[in-house]
Amino acid sequence: MQAAASRSSGIDRRRRGHISGAKPHPASADDTGLLDALPIAAAIIEQAAKGSMQISAHNSRFFDTVQQSSSAARDWNAADCLKSGPIAEALTKFFDGSDTRGELDFKDGEGVSSHHFRLKLAPLPQKGNGPRCLLSVVDRTVEVQAERTLRAEMLRDSLTGLPNRLAFTEAVEKAGETVHRDLEHAVLVVDMLRFSRINESMGSLAGDELLITFARRLILALRAGDVLARTGGNEFGVLVSLRRGVEDALKAAQRIQDVMTTPFKISDLEIRVECAIGVALMHAGQDPEELFRNAQFAVKQAKIAGKPQVYEPKQASEARRRFSIETELRRALDKDQLRLFYQPLIDLKSGEVAGFEALARWTHEDRGEISPSEFIPVAEESGLILQLGRWAMDCAVQTLADWDKRCGEKLPLYVGVNLSAIQVARDNIAEMVEDSLRASGLAGDRLTLELTESSIVQDPARATRVFDALKALDATVAMDDFGTGYSSLAYLQRLPIDVLKIDKSFVSGMMVDPDAVAIVRAVLSLAEALGMSTTAEGIETVELATTLATLGCASGQGFYFAKPLEAEAALDYWKSRRH
Ligand code: C2E
Ligand code: MG
Ligand code: MG
């Protein structure tokens, strides 16, 4: 229960002296003795007729303390405290039973000169006409002030005088309580870069000076109502309010960076200080600690990116990336910016290059190399795989035809092209392959089509037609990533599959996991039983190459032999391994 009684008249409330007009009720000797024994100001209050109250006994401290609790005029009568003010209100409520808790903290005055009191009421057995209670008043001013000082110390960073991490969290929490809609506030975490190096080379005093100057500069970038705090050694937190969402937060980050551009003068030296800024936007009901951690996470990303970063939940940022990859992939395909690389497939018995697998490569102008395992699923989802697949097919057979032409002979090589399950389901693959072969002049037996088990599972009848049509073109059909899908043995037997490509997860596990060896052995004997050939993917060591050869695997590909190469390098590689 908190109440503030402020009847401030500006008169010194600490004055002591005669209390005019105080007419204590005649008290029994018992009562007075009892009260005098108490170490605090106390009085017995009795409720007389018509609800009026009177002091029936008090100890010597009572008037002094009660007078201090009131900023009344000089001629104030102590019994006046029963007429109005917090004591009178508490007593009235106590006697009429509307508040029987019997305890009340109140203060008199405002600011540094305010006084704090705790009032307690306890019922006493009735003696005369009305109910009675024991009223005690404790001056808690010193205690409250000490608590405040201690709290202020706990919330302040002693070096910069700024609020510390604890105070910052409290400020964020408070801001969160008043949030009416999302994105009204943001937390910026500003990390002074390379601070530890400056600290080490120039000494901790210079380091301290730099931190103080840095903090002062940060203040220059703030707007009214923003909260700045030192939240770690070289880390500062800024709570900003937003009117236009993320845009305002990024503007605040820009202002901070602007004030840091001028060099810092520390011990006669000019130092340039850079900072990384992470931004996290506050959502209604968000935990302040979580918000702060998000901003810290964004700082890490800002260090890598070299510019302020806004924290985004993983899912949102992944979805956004997929979306922008789709848009940019479409553009890249239209502008013919994808390239096809060729990874050698080695005959494990002879060590010669038997063929190449064509693998799509995309180097993005800003993002750099984007892996097929990222853009192929996006292409499949968006339907772009049809365009991509046709391009890969055209390009791969054309490359092999070019090699033939340049070498003046029909090279003993084939090219493997990947086909997605989406192409099988939606495109007219046989026609597309036929077109490519015709355009390049290459014979069908120079082409291997790598399909995955998923292309059979979705629509086995359609897959059967496609596989048959491809066989009719004389092409080889390989089952890619074998072992990772769900194809049934019945389909393996029924479909015209020539090669099983053992997935690299089994191959790379062979050296450490006996189960992987067992699986590879099983696939090899299954292939043999079904009259199929085998290719092992992901051969990274010579041990794997020899083990697989010993086990009877026909061919293999992997980084041990070569990574996917550009067309020119691939042809050179073939030449270099030719016996
Ligand atoms: P995939 O068809 O199974 O291709 C083999 C993948 O294994 C390639 O990854 C290749 O670079 C990688 N690889 C080969 N040897 C090793 C090795 O020793 N160690 C390791 N760790 N990896 C090895 P890449 O090029 O990243 O392609 C990933 C997947 O993307 C391909 O798997 C394929 O499913 C798909 N893909 C790539 N290009 C095309 C394309 O033109 N069309 C379609 N539909 N899919 C494609
Ligand atoms: Mg493949
Ligand atoms: Mg594969």
Residue 319 covered by a domain: no
Residues with CB under 6 Å of ligand 1 are 343, 359-360, 371-373, 376, 389, 392, 418-420, 450, 480-481, 504, 537-540, 557-559, 564
Q: Which atom of ligand 1 approaches the CA of 452 most closely? A: 34
Residue 220 covered by a domain: yes
Which residue has the CA at smallest separation from atom 12 of ligand 1?
538
Residue 329 covered by a domain: no
Do 504 and 558 touch, CB atoms closer than 8 A?
Answer: yes
What is the predicted pLDDT for the residue at 108? 83
Which residue has the CA at smallest separation from atom 43 of ligand 1?
418
**What is the length of the chain?**
579
Tell whether 392 and 523 lie within a shared domain. yes
β-strand pairing of 41-47 with 132-139: antiparallel
Do 274 and 258 touch, CB atoms closer than 8 A?
Answer: no
Domain end, chosen from 250, 278, 311, is at 311
Ligand nearest to the CA of 423: 1
| pLDDT tens profile 381-437 | 999 999 999 999 999 999 999 999 999 999 999 999 999 999 999 999 999 999 999
CA of 119 to the centre of ligand 2 (A): 83
**Looking at residue 520, which CATH number applies to its domain?**
3.20.20.450
Q: Residue 357 above 90 pLDDT?
A: yes
State which residues form the domain around 49. 2-145
Tell whether 258 and 396 lie within a shared domain. no
CA of 365 to the centre of ligand 3 (A): 27
Tell whether 415 and 457 lie within a shared domain. yes
DSSP 543-563: HHHHHHHHHT--EE-STTT--
Ligand nearest to the CA of 376: 1
Which residue has the CA at smallest separation from atom 37 of ligand 1?
359
Tell whether 137 and 162 lie within a shared domain. no
Residue 76 covered by a domain: yes
Tell whether 255 and 306 lie within a shared domain. yes
C-alpha–C-alpha distance, residues 378 and 327, integer Å? 10
Residue 275: which of 264, 283, 284 has the closest Cα? Answer: 264
Tell whether 470 and 556 lie within a shared domain. yes
Residue 325 covered by a domain: no
Percent of the chain past pLDDT 70, that is, above it, reads 92
Tell whether 494 and 382 lie within a shared domain. yes
β-strand pairing of 132-139 with 447-452: unpaired
Tell me the best of 387, 423, 482, 537 to mutate to test the pocket of ligand 1, counting ligand atoms within 8 Å of each CB and taking the most: 537
C-alpha–C-alpha distance, residues 313 and 290, integer Å? 12
Q: CA 466, 469, 472 angle in degrees (round to 5)? A: 155
| pLDDT tens profile 160-201 | 999 999 999 999 999 988 766 666 899 999 999 999 988 888
Domain end, chosen from 92, 111, 145, is at 145
Tell me the best of 359, 482, 511 to mutate to test the pocket of ligand 1, counting ligand atoms within 8 Å of each CB and taking the most: 359
Tell whether 140 and 166 lie within a shared domain. no
Q: Residue 60 above 90 pLDDT?
A: no
Which residue has the CA at smallest separation from atom 34 of ligand 1?
418
Residue 317 covered by a domain: no
Tell whether 178 and 306 lie within a shared domain. yes
- pLDDT category of residue 263 using cuts at 50, 70 and 90: very high
Tell whether 137 and 160 lie within a shared domain. no
**Looking at residue 186, which CATH number applies to its domain?**
3.30.70.270
Q: Which residues surround ligand 2, an ion (CB under 5 A)?
A: 418, 450, 480
CA of 540 to the centre of ligand 2 (A): 16
Domain end, chosen from 114, 145, 176, is at 145
CA of 503 to the centre of ligand 3 (A): 6
C-alpha–C-alpha distance, residues 379 and 387, integer Å? 9
- pLDDT category of residue 109 using cuts at 50, 70 and 90: confident
Tell whether 495 and 565 lie within a shared domain. yes
Tell whether 256 and 350 lie within a shared domain. no
CA of 21 to the centre of ligand 3 (A): 102
CA of 418 to the centre of ligand 2 (A): 5
Instruction: Tell me, rounded to whole angstroms, the distance of Cα 460 from its chain centroid.
Output: 43
Which residue has the CA at smallest separation from atom 20 of ligand 1?
538
Q: What's the longest Cα–Cα distance across the chain?
A: 131
Q: Please state the domain count of the chain.
A: 3
Tell me the best of 356, 374, 376 to mutate to test the pocket of ligand 1, counting ligand atoms within 8 Å of each CB and taking the most: 376
What is the predicted pLDDT for the residue at 178? 76
Q: Residue 228 above 60 pLDDT?
A: yes
Residue 286 covered by a domain: yes
CA of 395 to the centre of ligand 1 (A): 17
Do 478 and 416 touch, CB atoms closer than 8 A?
Answer: yes
Residue 356: which of 424, 405, 403 has the closest Cα? Answer: 403
What is the predicted pLDDT for the residue at 29? 63
**Strand blocks (E) in 8-139:** 41-47, 53-58, 103-108, 115-124, 132-139
| pLDDT tens profile 302-325 | 999 999 999 988 766 777 788 889
Which residue has the CA at smallest separation from atom 24 of ligand 1?
372
Q: Which residue has the tokens 């009235």?
A: 92
Residue 357 covered by a domain: yes
C-alpha–C-alpha distance, residues 328 and 434, integer Å? 29
CA of 557 to the centre of ligand 3 (A): 10
CA of 475 to the centre of ligand 3 (A): 18
C-alpha–C-alpha distance, residues 213 and 217, integer Å? 6
CA of 502 to the centre of ligand 1 (A): 13
Do 279 and 296 touch, CB atoms closer than 8 A?
Answer: no
Q: Residue 280 above 50 pLDDT?
A: yes
**Looking at residue 46, which CATH number applies to its domain?**
3.30.450
What is the predicted pLDDT for the residue at 415? 98
